[in-house]
Every structure is written in C-alpha cells, then in structure tokens.
Amino acid sequence: MTKRARRMLALMDRATTLWHIPVVGRAKGRVIRRLLERHRPTRAIEIGSLLGYSAILIAGALPPRGRLTCVESNPYLAKFVKSNLEVAGLGRRVKVVGGDALRVLPLLSGRFDFVFIDAVKEDYLDYLRQLEPKLVPGAVVVADNTGVFRRDVAPYLEHVRASAGRWESREHDFGDDAMEVSILRG
C-alpha cells in the first residue's frame, strides 16, 4: 500500500472513530489485507462503500494490475467515495457504480475473484446469489457484521456453511462483531 493511501486511511480511522461512523475498521481491515496478500485477487467488488474506507483498504492492497468495482446506492456517497479514492491516489484502480446493488449486480460484466459485502444485512444472500455465477473458483467472499447482525444474515450464513461443499467458510470473531470469510471451491 502506498504512503498516500495509508495516510488517508489513518485520517479516516480517526474521523470515523470520533464520529462513530460504521466502517470496517482496523482489526477487520488487517484480516482483509492478509486475505488479499494470500489470494492476490485482481477483480474485486465491494457492495456498500459509505465514505470509501474499505474501498481504499482493498484497492490499496490489490496487486498492481488489480481493479475494484464499488457499488454504492446513495448517489451523494458514491461521489464522495470517488473523490476520497482520488485523494488516496487510487482513482484509476477503482470504478464506482451508483445504484442499488440488487439492480446493479446483474448488469455487471466479467468475473470477480474477491467480494466484500457490507450493505443491507437482510440482502446478503441475495447479493451473493446474484454474484455466484460471476465468481471464479477460489474466489474469496468476505461478509461484514455477521456478529452484530447475526439474525439478519442467518440465511446467508446457512448458505455458505451448508452448501454441500461448494463453499469453505469460517467466521472471524472480533469480540464485538464477526466477519464471515468464504472461499468458493473449484
């Protein structure tokens, strides 16, 4: 990750902590960075970007030819995400698509090898179902807030944990919340 992206993340860390803004944050961010370093995906997608914190984290840790697509339903926030990515020096690696993910996902072309899901909790399974045909074997899917919103994401967890061997899935526990990391088997 470049110094510029790191500086931007540090600034956002301070602001989001101060104002209690729900971004993925440092502890989960470390796990995401490790996953990106291990799996080296090149076509990533994020659902729910808010101010661009997780987008900067992901785009900054992708290998040089890696690209990230961000889907954000709030048009004002989508512009903000774009501008924050520019400030972090990552604008050219990221495409920000404004719109409801459930409408946008079916229209996206190409395939993905990394997914970060962090929008409407009850819709996690629908996002995944729409993305599944576009995922390559070995794709890594990270779902945030599976601890705090366990009841809302229950159908999603059931899908990735009991899918007849299609997914290899495990929970990362952070005490106050959890994140589910699932890998699509070949």
Contacting residues toward ligand SAM, per CB under 6 A: 22-24, 47-50, 53-54, 71-74, 77, 100-102, 118-120
Residue placing its CB nearer to ligand SAM in the complex, 71 or 143? 71
Angle (nearest 5°) at CA 80 between 56 and 23: 50
Distance in Å, CB of 185 to ligand SAM, minimum = 26
> Please, which residues bridge with residue 69 across strands?
45, 95
Distance in Å, CB of 99 to ligand SAM, minimum = 7
Residue placing its CB nearer to ligand SAM in the complex, 66 or 98? 98
Distance in Å, CB of 44 to ligand SAM, minimum = 13
Distance in Å, CB of 25 to ligand SAM, minimum = 7
Produce one character per residue of 44-73: b if its CB has 16 or more CB atoms within 10 Å, e if not: bbbbbbbbbbbbbbbbbbbeeebbbbbbbb
Q: Which residue is nearest to ligand SAM (CB)?
A: 48
Cα–Cα distances (Å) from 133 to 6, 14, 82, in that order, read 34, 38, 27
Pairing of strands 43-47, 67-72: parallel
Residue placing its CB nearer to ligand SAM in the complex, 15 or 162? 15
CA distance 126 to 138: 20
